[in-house]
Amino acid sequence: MARGFRLIFATSLLLALLGLCRGSTIGVCYGRNADDLPTPDKVAQLVQLHKIKYLRIYDSNIQVLKAFANTGVQLMIGISNSDLLPFSQFQSNADTWLRNSILPYYPATKITHITVGAEVTESRNNASSMVVPAMKNVLTALRKAGLHKKIKVSSTHSLGILSRSFPPSAGAFNSSHAFFLKPMLEFLAENQSPFMVDIYPYYAYRDSPNNVSLDYALFESSSEVIDPNTGLLYTNMFDAQIDALYFALMALNFRTIKIMVTETGWPSKGSPKETAATPDNAQTYNTNLIRHVINDTGTPAKPGEDLDVYIFSLFNENRKPGLESERNWGLFYPDQTSVYNLDMTGKGAVSMTTETNVTSSNGTWCIASSTASEMDLQNALDWACGPGNVDCSAIQPSQPCFEPDNVVSHASFAFNSYYQQNGATDIACSFGGSGIKVNKNPSYDNCLYMTTGYVYILSQISYLIF
C-alpha cells in the first residue's frame, strides 16, 4: 500500500516538475490590417515552414481558425475592444460566441489563450470598465464547455499602464487605472492566467535617444545599468521593462502572476526621422530577443523564470495608420519573402552582415517586379528555366527555394540566377519589364540567391576539375 502511494506521489511530482520545466517560448503576431496579404491557408504553410509554433491573432476569424486546424500551431485569439460592451453585458453573448466561433474548430485548431480587449487604456474610448466583466463571462462560457483549464483568459496592456518604470524596482501601476486593475489582477491570480503586456524598447529609444542608447535597446550593450535600490545589473531595456512590471505586481502583493509579452519587435523601415528603423536593427533586436528568451535566461529580478514572448509582426501591414514604421514591423513581405533573415529557433546563424558579405560584384540582385502580372512572370519564368539555361532545380518541390510556392518567389530566384550568370547587366534583368534590380540580398533561410562572385567561383572549380 505504502509502495503504491510512493509510486503515485513520485509520478505526480514528476509531472509537476515537467510542467514547471516547460521552458520559455517564442511566438509571432499575425496582424491582418492590410489589403495584400496571402490567404490564411498560405499563411499556415509559411508559419509551419519557418517552424513558428505559437501565433497570436487579434480576432476569431473563421478562415484563419480553419487554416490552422491540425497544424499543431498554438493560437492566441482575441476579442476586440469594439466587442467588449456586448460581452460584458450578457453572458449569453459570450456563450453564443464560444458555441459558434470556437467550439466547431477546437481542438483540431489548438487555441490556448483568449485576449479580451487590447491595450484598452490607450484607446480613445476607454473601455476599461468593461474588460473584467467580459473576461468573467468568457471564462464562464469556457467553464460550461469544460475548457476553462485548457484555455486561459486575459487582456493585453501597453507599458503605459505603469506610471513609473525606472529604476525597475520602483515600477508602479498608474493609479488612474486602479479601479479596473485590482479586480483584473485578482481574476488573473485566481485563474492562473498571465498578465499580458506589449513591450517596445524601440519606442523608448526613438522618443528619447539622449537617455537610451541604441545598443541597450538592441541587447547589444557592453555596459550595465545599475538599479540603485536593488543593486541588480541590467544590460538591456527589455529586461528592465519586464522587471518594472514584476516589481509593480509585487508592490500590490500579486507575486504569483506570470508575465507574458504579447507584442514586441523592431521596425525595418521608417520615416526620415526614424533612423533606427532599419533591417539590420530589426534583425539584431529580434535575433537577440529570441536567443535571450529561448535560453531561459530570465531577468535580473527573476533569473531563470519562463517568459513567453510574441514578436510583432508576421507581415508588413500596409493599412496601418501613422508613421512609416507602423507599416514595417513584419518578418515577411506580403509575397511571403523574408524582410531579413531570422532563425526562430535561436540556434542558427543570425548576422545579416554575414549574409551581405557574400554580395555580387556590383552589390545588386534581380527579382520579380511587384507590378508585373502573374502571366508575364510565368512566361518569363518558363523562359529563364528553359531557353535561358537557368538551373531551376532549387525551386522544385522539397527543395530549399520551393516555399513560398508562388510565381513571384520562383520567378525572383530564376531571374536572379540568369542575371548573375550573364554579367549582372541591366539588360539581363529586364525580362520584358518583369524584372527589377535591388541592392538587398533576397536570400532567406536555406534558399541562397546566386551572386556574381559565386558564379565566378563555380566556373573556376569547373575549370580545375575538367
Find all residues with CB under 8 Å of 426, minimum gap 6, and list them.
437
Higher pLDDT among residues 445 and 209, named by residue: 209
Nearest to 424 by CA among 384, 458, 378, 455: 455
Task: Check if the beta carbon of residue 394 is closer than 8 Å to that of residue 454.
Answer: no
User: What are 346's three cell numbers?
Assistant: 535561436
Mean pLDDT of all residues in 260-275: 96
Give the pLDDT band of residue 362 (cuts 50, 70, 90). low
User: What are 272's three cell numbers?
Assistant: 526620415
Say whether pLDDT at 261 is over 90.
yes
pLDDT, tens digit, 9 for 90 and up, residues 325-339: 999 999 999 999 899
Give the pLDDT band of residue 95 (cuts 50, 70, 90). very high
The alpha helices in 98-153, defined as continuous H runs, are 128-144
Q: Dihedral of the CA atoms 283, 78, 254, 143 (nearest 10)?
A: -140
Task: Check if the beta carbon of residue 327 is closer than 8 Å to that of residue 45.
Answer: no
User: What are 145's three cell numbers?
Assistant: 464547455
Q: Which of 276-290, 341-355, 446-460 has the lowest mean pLDDT?
A: 341-355
Q: State how far the Cα of 211 lies from the Cα of 209, in Å rounded to an integer.
A: 5
Q: Identify residue 202 by its one-letter amino acid code.
A: Y
Find all residues with CB under 8 Å of 158, minimum gap 6, and list them.
119, 121, 122, 197, 198
CA distances from 54 to 71, 169, 267, 294 (A): 11, 31, 21, 13
Q: By CB neighbour count within 10 A (0-12 exposed, 13-18 middle, 19+ buried), where does 27 fall?
A: buried
- What are the two backbone dihedrals, phi and then psi, of residue 28, each rounded to the nearest 5 degrees? -135, 145
Nearest to 111 by CA among 157, 184, 59, 48: 59
Q: Which of 17-21, 291-295, 417-421 has the lowest mean pLDDT?
A: 17-21
Among residues 119, 317, 355, 403, which one is catalytic?
A: 119
The yes-or-no answer on residue 119 being catalytic is: yes
Q: By CB neighbour count within 10 A (0-12 exposed, 13-18 middle, 19+ buried), where does 391 fall?
A: exposed
3 state SS of 223: coil
Q: What is the pLDDT of residue 41?
A: 95
460 alpha-carbon distance from chain centroid:
42
pLDDT, tens digit, 9 for 90 and up, residues 176-191: 888 889 999 999 999 9
Among residues 263, 317, 355, 403, which one is catalytic?
A: 263
